[in-house]
Amino acid sequence: MFDANRRKYPRANFPCQLTMWLADGASDTILVETTNIGAGGVCVQINRGIDLGAQVDIQVHFKNPTTPFKCRGIVVRSRKVSETQYDIGIQFEPLGELKSAFLDGKVSELIELENKRKS
C-alpha cells in the first residue's frame, strides 16, 4: 500500500543558504534559506509566488565544502501560505552521476545532524 507521507527522496529539514535566479533572466537574485532539501528537490519560503513550470538556476551553499552546489530546477509548487510568504517547491532537473552522488551524501549528512538534534 502506498504511504502518502513517504517521499521518493528523503528530505532534511535543515536550513541551507540558497541563491536562485529565474532561468529566463527576468528576475533579480533571490537569497533564501531552504525549508527542506532532498536529492530530488528543495523547498523554500519567499515573499513572492513563482509560476509553476518556471525554470530556476540554483546555488546551494553548504557550510562544507565552501564551493556552492549548482544546478537547475523547475517549480512544481507555488502556494501562498500567508500574506507575505509563498511555499515554493523546486524539483531538480536530472543531475549527472557525480552531482547526484554528492547531493545524496550531503542530504544524508544533514539528516544525521537533524536526527542528532532530536535525540
Is residue 106 pLDDT above 70, yes or no? yes
C-alpha grid cell for residue 67? 564551493
Is residue 73 pLDDT above 80, yes or no? yes
Report if residue 19 sits inside a domain.
yes
Amino acid present at 91 = Q
Amino acid present at 113 = L
* pTM for this predicted structure: 0.83
Strands 11-12 and 41-46: unpaired
Report if residue 79 sits inside a domain.
yes
Mind listing the pLDDT tens digit for each residue in 5-58? 455 667 888 788 888 888 777 666 788 888 888 989 999 999 888 899 999 999
Query: Domain tally for the chain?
Result: 1
Q: Is residue 79 very low, low, confident or very high in pLDDT (cuts 50, 70, 90)?
A: very high
Report if residue 57 sits inside a domain.
yes
How high is the pLDDT of residue 49? 87
Report if residue 4 sits inside a domain.
no
Report if residue 1 sits inside a domain.
no
Signed CA dihedral, 111, 18, 21, 36: sign only: positive
**Domain that includes residue 38, residue range:** 11-118
What CATH number has the domain bearing residue 45?
2.40.10.220
How high is the pLDDT of residue 57? 92
Is residue 112 pLDDT above 80, yes or no? yes
Report if residue 55 sits inside a domain.
yes
Report if residue 44 sits inside a domain.
yes
